């Protein structure tokens, strides 16, 4: 009694046999075509890419192309193997003695590599080239890689190596430098849908276009994953594959339900959002899949907002394109970006939560609550415009009888910056006498001189530890802050004498002195921060956002007013100013 032939899955049955049937890898095919035509064939290739894009398949096609002899047995290496000659058929059936495949995931040691090193010395038994295909090569041990290096760099002329890996970063650079590298790309969804449609037609199966799009989207650019899912969908649908059956198989929510849920969340309609989520959960949709669908929808709407022409993508159903175009126009970029950040953080919470369904529900509640809040830019604008006229914006802790201070007409930063104390600055630059031109007469000028000479260590020590008592040309008297190095005065005196070619007297005083530059700047920053915290607009922001805190205070840029500049600049500096 004849037994029926064993069923071959689609991923094996429709595996490409030549480069013309290898989809989505145009750059690789073009490079190899030119190499074969010119006879510039590398001795080692390394193929990298995500799972299922065709790395091992490409390696076998290369082995066939190298060893094909043509139908008449007189041909040479060709980019289009005939598939008829004995080497082509033997390699396709995995029985050629000179094409050796090794799985590095299970044979990782130096002993396995020694077998290859010993065998490469012998000529092929029947083929033109002896081809070694090592899959998942990144799994080899360090000793195995080191043992392979010399043979890989100078193999016999009758040996070719083809490596495949999903983790190219784990392959040593010494190995990569000896190979010709090819990066296999993910296959675009459109090409994958067309490829799946052709295979379904060849198998005599009716598959809905929307079902093909769902399978291609779930495969994420992997042809093998797509074929495996199509195989499963055909079995699930018993010969006819519909979109609803694919959604049930993949545990996905209906795209229309995802749009309804997102619309309810963006309206702030909490009861409707919870009802729609409950429907999906009762239908068996995984909570993590719901959050991922919302993330994907947010990303798609953001792209539509930036490039409206993306709504014409034929792989998206017409109903979804119309709703997506309308939603993208209604929602602003700030709202979409905020939803993306919250969903991205919420996805991790759902994955870690002991009850993912409850975590997804809490995430939906947060999103719906935030949807009722205006964007941060609108809120700041409203606070800016209404702080002076609306005492209610002031914090509740303010005394009841105290009127709210009026908001200045100028920007907050400028108004606060003018009243905040600033760090001590050097006097305006004067035109000193020729003999005194190079002698600094203030601590700031000394710091500038030290910085100009490139002594960063001495400059930092002056800024941190020097508390000036009296400084003029040729004389420095200062006290030191805690932690100052004991030889600071001596080193400063030697450097000033060297840089100015004049004698200097640098002494450490017992008087307290003025604050150091670092202490002055810290005091100025603290005063500016206190002034900002007292500002009515900041108080209004604190009232609107409980728990908010000031991170940094940036002083305003100097006003570019020629009249004010002219009035402030003295005609001639005096001795007192110095």
* 378-406 tens-digit pLDDT: 666 666 665 444 444 333 333 333 333 33
pLDDT at 498 over 50: yes
Give ∠ CA 58-61-66 in degrees, rounded to 5: 125
Please, which pLDDT band fits residue 319 given cuts at 50, 70 and 90?
low
For residue 545, report the phi and psi dihedrals to the nearest 5 degrees: -125, 85
Model confidence pLDDT, tens digit, residues 252-273: 666 778 888 999 998 888 899 9
For residue 8, report the phi and psi dihedrals to the nearest 5 degrees: -105, 125
Distances in whole angstroms, Cα of residue 515 to Cα of each of 422, 424, 462, 468, 478: 13, 10, 12, 7, 10
- Report CA dihedral (415, 421, 424, 429) to the nearest 10 degrees: 30
Cβ–Cβ under 8 Å, residues 58 and 17: no
Residues 6+ apart with CB under 8 A from 454: none
CA–CA separation, 532 and 527 (whole Å): 9
pLDDT at 251 over 80: no
Cβ–Cβ under 8 Å, residues 167 and 157: no
The percent helix, strand, coil of the chain (3-state, each to 5) is 55, 10, 40
CA–CA separation, 337 and 302 (whole Å): 8
Domain 272-371: which topology?
Answer: Zinc Finger, Delta Prime; domain 3 (1.20.272)
pLDDT at 64 over 80: yes
CATH number assigned to the domain covering 440-514: 3.30.300
Residues 6+ apart with CB under 8 A from 113: 140, 144, 147, 148
Please give the average per-residue pLDDT across 94-112, as a whole number.
89
Please, which pLDDT band fits residue 129 given cuts at 50, 70 and 90?
very high
Tell me what pLDDT residue 1 has: 46
Q: Where are the alpha helices (DSSP H) in 96-141?
A: 110-119
pLDDT at 507 over 70: yes
Greater confidence (229 vs 435) lies with 229
Cβ–Cβ under 8 Å, residues 55 and 47: yes
Say which DSSP state 478 is in: E
Please give the average per-residue pLDDT across 55-59, as a whole number.
91
Cβ–Cβ under 8 Å, residues 178 and 150: no
Sketch the domain layout of the chain as residue ranges: 10-183, 189-250, 272-371, 440-514
Please give the average per-residue pLDDT across 210-223, as a whole number.
85
Model confidence pLDDT, tens digit, residues 184-202: 998 888 888 889 989 988 8
CATH number for the 189-250 domain, one of 2.60.40.10, 1.10.1740.10, 1.10.8.60, 1.10.3720.10? 1.10.8.60
CA–CA separation, 267 and 282 (whole Å): 23
CATH number assigned to the domain covering 10-183: 3.40.50.300
Model confidence pLDDT, tens digit, residues 335-391: 888 899 999 999 999 999 999 999 999 999 999 888 777 666 666 666 666 544 444
- For the chain, give the percent of residues with pLDDT over 70: 81
CA–CA separation, 409 and 415 (whole Å): 9
Tell me what pLDDT residue 436 has: 46
CA–CA separation, 495 and 502 (whole Å): 11
Write down the mean pLDDT value for the chain: 80
Positive or negative, the Cα torsion across 548, 553, 559, 565? positive
For residue 135, report the phi and psi dihedrals to the nearest 5 degrees: -90, 150
């Amino acid at each position: 009694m004849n037994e029926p032939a064993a069923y071959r899955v689609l991923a094996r049955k429709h595996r490409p046999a030549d480069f013309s049937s290898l989809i989505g890898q145009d750059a690789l095919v073009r490079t190899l075509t030119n190499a074969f035509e010119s006879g510039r064939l590398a001795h080692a290739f390394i193929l990298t890419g995500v799972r299922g894009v065709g790395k091992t398949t490409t390696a076998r096609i290369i082995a066939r192309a190298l060893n094909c002899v043509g139908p008449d047995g007189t041909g040479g290496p060709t980019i289009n193997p005939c598939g008829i000659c004995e080497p082509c058929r033997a390699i396709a059936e995995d029985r050629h003695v000179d094409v050796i495949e090794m799985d590095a995931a299970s044979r990782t040691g130096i002993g396995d590599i020694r077998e290859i090193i010993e065998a490469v010395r012998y000529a092929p038994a029947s083929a033109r080239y002896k081809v070694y295909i090592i899959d998942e090569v990144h799994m080899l041990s360090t000793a195995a890689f080191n043992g392979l290096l010399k043979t890989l760099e100078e193999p016999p002329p009758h040996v070719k190596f083809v490596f495949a890996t999903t983790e190219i970063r784990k392959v040593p650079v010494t190995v990569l430098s000896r190979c010709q590298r090819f990066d296999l790309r993910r296959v675009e969804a459109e090409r994958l849908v067309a490829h799946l449609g052709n295979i379904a037609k060849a198998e005599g199966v009716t598959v809905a276009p929307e079902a093909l799009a769902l399978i291609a989207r779930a495969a994420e650019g992997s042809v093998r994953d797509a074929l495996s899912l199509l195989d499963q969908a055909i079995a699930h649908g018993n010969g006819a594959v519909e979109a609803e059956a694919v959604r049930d198989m993949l545990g996905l929510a209906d795209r229309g339900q995802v749009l309804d849920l997102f619309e309810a969340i963006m309206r702030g309609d909490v009861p409707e959002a919870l009802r729609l989520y409950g429907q999906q959960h009762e239908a068996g949709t995984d909570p993590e899949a719901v959050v991922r669908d919302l993330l994907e929808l947010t990303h798609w709407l953001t792209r539509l907002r930036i490039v409206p022409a993306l709504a014409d993508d034929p792989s998206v159903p017409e109903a979804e394109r119309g709703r997506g175009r309308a939603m993208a126009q209604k929602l602003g970029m700030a709202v979409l970006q905020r939803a993306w950040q919250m969903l991205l953080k919420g996805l991790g919470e759902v994955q870690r939560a002991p009850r993912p369904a409850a975590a997804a529900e809490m995430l939906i509640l947060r999103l719906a609550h935030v949807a009722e809040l205006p964007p941060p830019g609108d809120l700041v604008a409203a606070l800016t415009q209404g702080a002076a006229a609306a005492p209610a914006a002031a914090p509740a802790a303010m005394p009841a009888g105290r009127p709210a201070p009026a908001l200045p007409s100028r920007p907050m930063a400028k108004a606060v910056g003018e009243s905040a104390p600033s760090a001590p600055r050097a006097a305006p630059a004067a035109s000193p006498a020729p003999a005194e031109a190079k002698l600094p007469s203030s601590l700031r000028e000394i710091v500038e001189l030290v910085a100009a000479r490139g002594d960063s260590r001495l400059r930092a020590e002056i800024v941190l530890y020097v508390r000036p008592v009296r400084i003029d040309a040729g004389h420095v008297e200062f006290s030191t802050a805690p932690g100052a190095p004991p030889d600071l005065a001596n080193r400063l005196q030697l450097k000033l004498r060297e840089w100015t070619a004049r004698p200097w007297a640098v002494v450490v005083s017992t008087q307290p002195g003025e604050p150091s530059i670092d202490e002055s700047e810290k005091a100025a920053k603290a005063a500016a921060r206190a002034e900002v915290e007292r500002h009515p607009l900041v108080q209004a922001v604190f009232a609107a956002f409980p728990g908010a805190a000031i991170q940094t205070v940036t002083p305003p840029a100097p006003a570019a007013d020629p009249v004010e500049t002219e009035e402030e600049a003295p005609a001639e500096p005096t001795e007192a100013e110095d």
